[in-house]
A and B are shown apart, each in its own frame.
Chain A
Amino acid sequence: MNFDDTPQEAAFRAEAKAWIAANAPKQYEDELRKASLGRVALQGANILEVAKAWQKKKADAGWACLHWPKEYGGRGASPIERVIWQQEEGPFGRLSSMFIIGHGMCGPTMMAFAGEEQKRKYLPPLASGEKVWCQLFSEPAGGSDVAGLRTRAEKNGDEWVINGQKIWTSGAHYSDYGILLTRTDPTVAKHKGLTMFFLDMKSPGVEVRPIKQASGASDFNEVYFTDVRIPDSQRLGNVNDGWNVSLTTLMNERMSIGAGVATGFPELFDFCNSLILDDGPAIENRAVRSKLANWAVKASGLKYTSMRAISALSRGERPGPENSIGKLVAGSMIQDVATYALDLQGAAGA
């Protein structure tokens, strides 16, 4: 693995840097930079509108979903070029968080299983942020056990009729389309009776109810389906082959959630650099330094693990289970880091 840019990569980086400097919504830079640990929100501006405007601007100049083929709204860039773009986009990349499901999971699934005409119709507006997509897998009775889902799809002529309920659907409340995993055969083993579709979230019979989280925000939803009709042409993969189709989605989910995942470490390090404790600067306290060092190597280990995954990807290998490490480690680390940042402040931390 090499950490220096090749001459071509350096030229690509310079081009990206120059374009971002000339076009990024600079007025939000500070807010976005500070927003990394919590939810991205902007004072006095609608985040979705700002995000969509930035995404469209990128798409028009060829910087959206840049690793996608040109005919689907990308620029056919290499995985390494995509990483370089992400590094250069920096805090403005946080505006992409509402597109991550669509770009990271729905797009790759459509690319693998939709017809050519559909791909040319649906993928470019997905890349440009004009249409937002969500992923409808989890259900109340089976969160981790996705294959145990119960939402039914029954064939009726050229259409399928959907009845059931999904939950934990990120962004369903502002999504235009979704990919939907359903049960089409309840008589066979649970992995064998599933079928995948994509649908218009504005279809009659779709009801979206936001879930209020501990933070007070609503990122997830419950989604109810009552006699929702989907044309058979919007089926992804064969009937009862939905489990295989969903594995493509989930492998891509691991990649998109695992890579470059937030750990809270850079923020904690900055915080400790400025915090003064009773006995002097926090950064000079032995106990604090030991904690920081332990989190530092986890954060760098995660970063280089995702770089290794990208290297593997650029050699043509498929994303594998090692990409689960990001979510596994960062998920509990960010909790520990935040708890420690509060602890250092004593009662004022509350």
Chain B
Amino acid sequence: MGFLGVAIPEQFGGAGAGHLELCVIAEEMGRALAPVPFSSTVYLAAEAILIAGSDAQKQKWLPKIASGDAIGTLALFEGKGNPSPKAVKVTANGGVLNGVKKPVPDGAIADFAVVAARTGSSGRESDISLFIVDLKAGGVEVKSLTNIDLTRGQAEITFKDAKAEPLGATGEGWSVITQVLDRAAVLTAFEQVGGADRALEMGRDYALDRIAFGRPIGSFQAVKHMLADMYVSATLARSNCYYGAWALSTNAGELPEAAAAARISATQAFQHCAKNNIQVHGGMGFTWEFDCHMYYRRANAVALGLGSLSYWEDALIDRMRKKNAA
């Protein structure tokens, strides 16, 4: 279908459509809870290469991503905490990496990773640089981690003198990471809105179908209000996402603020809808056989992957202040 390469230019094997189209696909991925390494490969690895890659790197990796021959990911986190240059301890010296990254999304099945590593010790953002590492080569140990979301894996990756190729200029890594996170925030927000919508539909369908006290439970005001509140949060999130999609697809200066707003709004909406969907389903809501828990798991895991809610709240206020001061 060409989904993987929808936002990759034609010269690099993609469809050359754009990010607006990618947002549409992201929403459907989220609605279906697709258990595929799409977000890691497309929103993170491909975006990092599109932003910072040399022509040769784009030629090497993007066609393979577009065709589905290569799975990529971003290895950023090193244990607890939110995205921060200070948290990056993995070192890059003489073309090799040393250290441990976790959690790495889809790390156990990825062919390559874009890795944030330390190339300086000034205590500034410019200490961080990016590298591409072939995860199938020597010096790389990969271990699967258990995680809340059963549909998408997380891994711990240990680098021991692993060969690494610089991606972008030395010291520019954090600036690229920030851009990648903003873009991924919008795309992931569409996945979240898709998931929120699906959870709302599931709740609505069950409320119309399930009979208690001689009438559909959807006729009780307590259930109606719950569903109305789900609709409200999903709708507000969708509106914030549309603004984010506009900013992303036109590369507008508003993107950082729009991305943070979309991320917060969609994270809250998906968590809220997935939680209330379980409540509407009553006892069946927490059984293994119903899909409610799959959405609940995804909602809570995807809320953390690009940095938690508090990280994005902080980012939004910083960005609004900057705009106000300007």
Contact residues in B for A286 (Cβ distance below 8 Å) = 310, 314
Query: Are A308 and B261 closer than 8 Å at their CB atoms?
Result: no
Is the CB of B243 closer than 8 A to any CB of chain A? yes
Query: Are B261 and A4 closer than 8 Å at their CB atoms?
Result: no
Q: Which residues of chain B in 232-269 are interfacial with respect to chain A, using CB atoms and an 8 Å cutoff?
A: 232, 235-237, 239-240, 242-243, 246-247, 250, 252, 260-261, 264-265, 268
Query: Are B235 and A325 closer than 8 Å at their CB atoms?
Result: yes
Residue in A269, A303, A304 whose Cβ sees the most chain B Cβ within 10 Å: A304
Number of residues in A with C-beta < 8 Å to the partner?
Answer: 28
Query: Are A325 and B232 closer than 8 Å at their CB atoms?
Result: yes
Contact residues in A for B232 (Cβ distance below 8 Å) = 325, 328-329
Provide a sorted-by-A list of 20 A–B residue pairs whose CB atoms are within 8 angstroms.
A1-B243, A2-B246, A3-B246, A290-B313, A293-B312, A294-B264, A296-B317, A296-B320, A297-B264, A300-B239, A300-B261, A301-B235, A301-B237, A304-B242, A304-B243, A305-B239, A308-B239, A308-B242, A325-B232, A328-B232
Using a CB–CB distance below 8 Å, which chain A residues touch chain B?
Answer: 1-4, 269, 273, 283, 286, 289-290, 292-294, 296-298, 300-305, 307-308, 322, 325, 328-329
Query: Are A322 and B317 closer than 8 Å at their CB atoms?
Result: no
Contact residues in A for B320 (Cβ distance below 8 Å) = 269, 296
Contact residues in B for A289 (Cβ distance below 8 Å) = 313-314, 317
Contact residues in B for A4 (Cβ distance below 8 Å) = 250
State the CA gap A1–B245 with chains docked (Å): 9
A311 — nearest CB in chain B belongs to which residue? B242
- Specify the main secondary structure of chain A where it touches its partner: helix
A289 — nearest CB in chain B belongs to which residue? B317
**Chain B interface bracket (under 10, 10 to 19, 20 to 34, 35 or more):** 20 to 34
Q: Sorted from nearest, which 8 A-B pairs have the closest CB atoms?
A: A301-B236, A293-B313, A304-B239, A297-B265, A305-B239, A289-B317, A293-B316, A297-B264
Query: Are B317 and A283 closer than 8 Å at their CB atoms?
Result: yes
| The one of B265, B310, B321 that contacts A273, using a Cβ cutoff of 8 Å | B321
Contact residues in B for A308 (Cβ distance below 8 Å) = 239, 242
CB distance from A309 to the nearest CB of B (A): 10
Query: Are B310 and A297 closer than 8 Å at their CB atoms?
Result: no
State the CA gap A302–B265 with chains docked (Å): 11
Query: Are B264 and A293 closer than 8 Å at their CB atoms?
Result: yes
| The one of A1, A269, A283, A305 that contacts B236, using a Cβ cutoff of 8 Å | A305
